[in-house]
Structure 1
Amino acid sequence: MLGHRLLLFATPRQVGVLDWRPGHMHWLGDFLPNAEGLGAFRKIIARHAHLPTLVVADTVDEDYRCEVMPHVQGHARDELLARKLKQVFRNTRFTGAWRQTRETTGRRDDRYLLAALPDAEWLTPWLGILHRERVPLAGIAPMALAYQHLLEKLREQSAHTLLACRLGSGLRLSYYHNGLLRFSRLIGGESPTQLPGNAADEIAKTQLYLSGQRILPREARLHVLLLDPSGQLDSAQAPLNADPAFSTRLIDMPALAHALRIPDDFLAATPEVAPLAAIAGEVPKLNLAPPELLQHHTEFRWRRALHGAAGLVALAGLGLTAAFWLHAQDLADQARLLAQQHQQYDARYRAIARSFPADAATPDQLVQTVAVARRLTAPQPDIARLLAVVGQPLLSAPDIMLDRLDWSDDSPAAGDGVRVDIDAAVASFDGNYRAAMQRIEAFIHMLESMPGVREVTLRSSPVNADSGSTLSGKTLDADAAGAPMARFSLRLLYREARS
C-alpha cells in the first residue's frame, strides 16, 4: 500500500517500532540498546526493509532557535540555511530548518525554526542497522513536531498553546504559536521536578522563560493542555487555573483515541503510539537527518514514481484497448445488422420476383425490338430528293463519271440522316494528277454547297498523300486499250431540312 510505513519511537533508553498503514497499526515491540536488543531489532527491520521509515526522536539533548532570514529561493536558500545551521550548531550532525511563515511587513523576510540534536550518539547503532539493511529512511523528526500534528488532530485553535505531555520518558513541554512549533524541552524522569506537585511549577518556569526570550508576548494568556495516561498531571490543573496567565484543559484518553481513530484498549496498552499515529501519514516538515542517510529513500521515491507512471501507462493502455474493443464490437454489431437487413431485402425481392409474369423475351431481344420499332416509326428519307441533290453536282461536272452510289440509314453515326457512299472517276485523265485532284476538290465543294449535305469526306483519291506510305504506280502505253482514269471515293451525310 502507498501509505504503509514503519515509525520508530527512539529514546536513549530504548526504541519502539510501529507498523502503520491507514486504518491499521501494529506495535512490533520495544528494543533495548544492547546486543540482544539490536539483534532483535535487526530481524524486525530485515522483514520490513522495503517500507519507508520515519524516526521520531525523544531526547533531552535538543535545541531550537527561531531565526528571521531574507526571502530567497532555490540554491541560494539551501546555501543560506547550510551556512546558518553551521554557524548556530557548529559541527552537529543532526540539524534541520523549517520555513514556517513569511513576515507581512518590512522586507517580508522568512521566519525559520532551526532545530538540532547536539548529543545523538545513541542513535548511531540504530541508524547503522537501517543503513546496512538499505531501509528507505524518510527522515528524523523531533517528538515536538509529532505533538504539533497531534494538536491538529485535536483541533486546537488557541494562538498560544503549551502542551504538557508525559508518556513514560519524562515530562515534555512544547510551545506552539498559531499551531506552529516554537520551543520544546524534555524534563527527564529521574528529576525530582517530575513529582506531581512540581509539574505546575515547571509549566510556570517555562512560561517565564518564553516571556524572557520574547518568544511568548508578556500580555498573552497561555493555554495549557495536559496529556498524561497515568494521571499524574491532573493535580496541576487546579493551581494553573487559579493563575490568570493560564487556562488549562485536561485531555483524557477516550478523547485522544477518538481524535486519532485508535481503539481505546490499544492506546491504553501502548500510549507511545499517540504521537506516532499523529505524524504517521504526514511528510515531516522539520527533518534532522543528514543527506547521506536519505539516499535510499530518494531511490525509493524514484522507484515508486516509476512504478506509478508505469501503472498509469498500463491503465491508459487498458482503457484504450477497452475503448477499441467496444468500438470493434459496435462495428461488428452494425455489420451483423446490415447483413440481416440485406438478407431480409433479398428475401423480399425474391418473393416479389416470383410473382412477376414470365419473360417473353430476353433483354437483348427487347433492345433489338425497340431499335427495329424506332426504325419503322422513323420517317423514311425522300430518295428522289437525295438523288437530285447528288445528281445536280454530277450534271455540273461532266468530267466526273459516277461508277456507284450506295445509301443507308441504319448507321449509328447517321443519326436521323442518310449515309451516302459515292465511287466515281475523273474522265479524260491524261496523267496530270494535280489537275485531277483540283477537279475532285471542286466536285466536293459543289456537294457541300447542296442543301442537306453534311460532312463530305474523301475516302480514297488517285494520289496517296500519306508521308508514311511507299511510292508505287505504273505507266500506261499510249496504245493500251481504254483511256486511263483517276478514281476516287466519297462519303457524305445527308439530312433533310425539316420545315
Structure 2
Amino acid sequence: MAVLPKQLFYVTNDRLCAFDWRAGALAPGPCFSADRDGMDAFARYLDGAQGTRACLVADLVEEDFQRCLLPHVSGRAGRTLVERRLSHAFRDTPFRHADIQDRDSEGRRDDHTVFSALTNAAMVQPWVGVMEQNKIPLAGLYSAAHLSAKLVRRMGIAQNHLLLIAEQGGGLRQSYFQGPYLKFSRLTVLAAHDDVIDATALETAKMQQFLTSTRLLGRGDMLHVVVLAPSARVAALEQRCEDDPELAYHFIDIDSACARLKLAGGVDTAEQLLLGLLGRDSLPSQYPPGAAGRFYQLWRARLALNCASAAIAAVGAVWLLASLWGSVRDGQEATRLLAEAAQYDARYRAIMATLPPTAARSANMKAAVQLDRLLGATAPAPAPLVALVSRSLERAPAIRLLALDWQVQQPVLAQTGAGAGATLVAPAAGDTTDPMAASVVGLPSAPVQVLRIDGEIEVGPSDYRAIVDSVNQFALDMAGNPGVAVHIVEAPLDVRQSVKLSGKTDAGDSGVKPRFVINVTWKP
C-alpha cells in the first residue's frame, strides 16, 4: 500500500500542517492554528477526503521518555506486564508507547525498555476528534522523535553515543541514541528572536551535561553530534560549533540527506524529511489512535474487497479472451479440416473415375473385408481348446490319448426366427436341411465348443485307486481353466453304488488297459 496516496499531518504545540504524498513525492499543504477557527478550517479541509488514509505526526514539547529494565517475559504475560508498567508510568494520557530495544548480556538478561508518552493529550485529541467526525481513515499516530530513529538507521549514521539535532516545526529537536536505539529526546521551543545557530551550540552543551549527569554518557566517552540543517546554514554552523576531546560535530545538509534516503525533490526541512520516510514506508502506529482507527480498518477492508473484485475481473477478462481465441482457432482448424476433406473427396472421385467398372460396389467390398476380419477374430478353431488339453496331459503322465472329437455346439433357433442368430445361408427351395446359425461361425461372438476325449490309463491293472485318481485329477485340472466344464461320460471303473462289482483282481488280459471318455465344453 506504499504506492497509494496518503494525507500526512504534522502537529506542533500551536498548529497543524497538512501534506500530500502522491506518486512518491511530498507536496506541502495549508496549516491550521490550534484554535476554534483553525479547527473549523481543518474540518472543511477534510470534507470529501474520506477515501485517503491519513497519518498524524506529533512534534510536541509534552513528550516524556523513561528508561527501565523489565524481566524478559514472552507471550501474553509479557504484553500484560508491559501494559501494566506503562499505565503506571503515564496514567493521565492514552497516548503511550513501549519500545523493547535489547537485553542485558549477563544475569537475568532483562529487557531494556523505553517508555514514552504524549503527556498533554489535549494537544492531540482535538485534531484526532475532528478526523473522527469526518470519518478519516487514520492509519496511525506517530512521534517525530521515534521517526528520527528510523532516520538514523536509514542514513547509516549510528554511533555508540549519537546526538541528532534538527530544526523542526516545533522547535529544535535533540534526540540521543546509543547505537540504533533512541534513549531520550527533548524539544526546545525557539522564540522569533532566537538565533538557531547559537541555540544549536548552547543546547548541545546542555544536552551533554544532562547525559553525563544521568550516566547515559560516561566520562571520556565521545559524543557524536549530527546536525541536520539547510545547505545555506551549514557553513555558519561549522564556524560556531567547535569540536573538543569529548565532542565531535557532523553537519549534513537536507539535500544530502534526501540523496541518502532516495527521496524525491521538494524536501526543504527536517520535518519534511521525516514525513517523506513515513509516506514511502507503511509503519505501524506508535501511539494508539483510539476510536478514530476504526475507519482505517474499514478502509482496509474496502480496499481488500476492491482488489479482490479487480482480480476476479482480470481473471474473467483473461478467461474470456482465451475462450474467444480458442473459438477463433477452432473455427480456423475446422475450416482447414473441411478443405482437406474436400481435397481427399476430389482425389477419391478422380481415382475412382479412372478404374474400370466392378460388379460389386465399394460399400459391399468394405463390408466383406470387415466380415472377414470379424470371422478371423471370433471364428471357432480347435487349436486353443487342444492347447488346454495338452497342458493338462503334461501334468497327467499316466493318461494316453486315443481319439479327439471336436465339435461346435449348434444353438437352438427360436420358433419366431429371432433365436441365437440369423442364418448364414438361406436354404434352397425344397431343401430340408437345417439352416446354419450365424453364431456357429463366430457371429456375433465365439460359439461354444465341445471336445470328446477318448483315452486309456497306463498303470497296473490291479491299481484301481491310481486309475480312478488319474482320471479325476485330469478332469479337475481341465475344469480349472476359465470357461471350461468337464463331464466324465465313461469312467475306467464303474464305482456307482447301484452297479454290482464282479470279476477277479488278478484275472483278465494284462494287455487291456482301462479306458475312459470325457466331454470338455468350452465357452471362449
Q: TM-score, normalised by structure 2?
A: 0.63
Q: 1:244 to 1:134 in 2, by over 3 A?
A: same
**1:344-396 superposed Cα distances (whole Å, 9 cap, x missing partner):** 222221221222222345579999xxxxxxxxxxxxxxxxxxxxxxxxxxxxx
Say which SS state the counterpart of residue 185 (structure 2) adopts: strand
Residue in 2 that maps onto 1:301 = 300
Deviation at 1:89, TM superposition (A): 1.0
The residue correspondences of 1:98-113 to structure 2 (distance < 5 A) are 98-102=99-103, 106-113=107-114
Question: How many angstroms does 1:131 deviate by?
Answer: 0.8
Give the letter for the 1:17 counterpart: A
Q: Counterparts of 1:228-267 in structure 2 under 5 Å?
A: 228-229=229-230, 235-237=236-238, 241-261=242-262, 266-267=266-267
Inter-partner Cα distance in structure 2 for 1:82 and 1:290: 16
2:272 aligned partner, one-letter code: V
Partner of 1:78: 79
Query: Which segments of 5 or more consecutive residues in structure 1 lack a partner in the other structure?
Result: 368-405, 417-499
Partners of 2:363 and 2:50 lie apart in 1 by 92
1:282 equivalenced with 2:281 (yes/no)? yes
2:16 aligns with: 15
Determine if contact 1:96/1:114 at 8 Å carries over to the other structure: yes
**Deviation digits for residues 94-132 of structure 1, max 9, x if unmatched?**
111233345565555443332101113122322221010
- Distance across 1 between alignment mates of 2:198 and 2:37: 38
Tell me whether 281-290 or 134-143 shows the greater mean CA deviation.
281-290
Taking only the aligned residue pairs, the percentage that are identical comes to 30
- Quick check: 1:150–1:279 contact (8 Å CA) kept in 2? no
Report the secondary structure of 2:226's partner residue. strand
RMSD: 3.5
Change (3 A) 1:63 1:354: same
The residue identity in structure 2 corresponding to 1:138 is A
Contact 1:162 1:174 in 2 (8 A): yes
Rg bigger for which structure? 1
Structure 1, 283-292 or 319-328: larger mean CA deviation = 319-328
Aligned residue for 1:65, secondary structure, equals strand
Q: State how far apart, in whole Å, the 2-side matches of 1:151 and 1:281 are.
A: 16
Cα–Cα, structure 1 residues 71 and 322, in superposed 2: closer, same or farther, change >3 Å? farther
The residue type paired with residue 347 of structure 2 is: R
Deviations 1:151-188 (A, max 9, x none): 34433243432111113532111122333322110111
**What is the one-letter code of the residue matched to 1:267?**
V
**Residue number in structure 2 paired with 1:347:** 346
Residue 225 of structure 1 aligns with an amino acid whose one-letter code is: V
1:245 and 1:137 mapped to 2: Cα distance? 44
Instruction: Name the stretch that deviates more: 312-321 or 159-168.
Output: 312-321
Q: Distance in 1 between matches of 2:88 and 2:363?
A: 112
| 1: CA distance, partners of 2:75 / 2:328 | 54
Q: Please tell me whether the aligned partners of residues 103 and 111 of structure 1 are also in contact (alpha carbons under 8 angstroms).
A: yes
Contact 1:69/1:112 (8 A) holds in 2: yes
**Paired amino acid for 1:296:** F
Q: CA deviation at 1:18?
A: 0.2
Confirm whether residue 358 of structure 1 aligns to residue 354 of structure 2. no
Change (3 A) 1:51 1:219: farther
Aligned residues: 376
- Secondary structure of 1:39's counterpart equals helix
Deviations 1:164-222 (A, max 9, x none): 11135321111223333221101111399866335223213313323433434555422
Distance 1:56 1:148 in 2: 14
Q: Within 5 Å, which residues of 2 pair with 1:39-78?
A: 39-78=40-79
Structure-2 change in CA distance of 1:197 and 1:362 (3 Å): closer
Task: Note if contact 2:231-2:254 (Cα within 8 Å) is conserved in structure 1.
Answer: no
CA contact (8 A) 1:145 1:286 kept: no
State the alpha-carbon separation in 1 of the partners of residues 91 and 364 from structure 2.
Answer: 117
Distance 1:216 1:310 in 2: 57
Q: Work out whether residues 260 and 277 of structure 1, in 8 Å CA contact, stay in contact via their aligned partners in 2.
A: no
Amino acid at match of 1:356: L
Residues in 2 aligned to 1:152 and 1:292: alpha-carbon distance in whole angstroms: 32
Query: Contact conserved, 2:131 with 2:292, CA < 8 A, in 1?
Result: no
Ranges in structure 2 where 5+ consecutive residues have no aligned partner = 367-429, 442-524
- 1:273 aligns with 272
Tell me the secondary structure at the aligned position of residue 124 of structure 2. Answer: helix
Q: Describe the SS at the equivalent of 1:242.
A: coil
TM-score (norm 1): 0.65
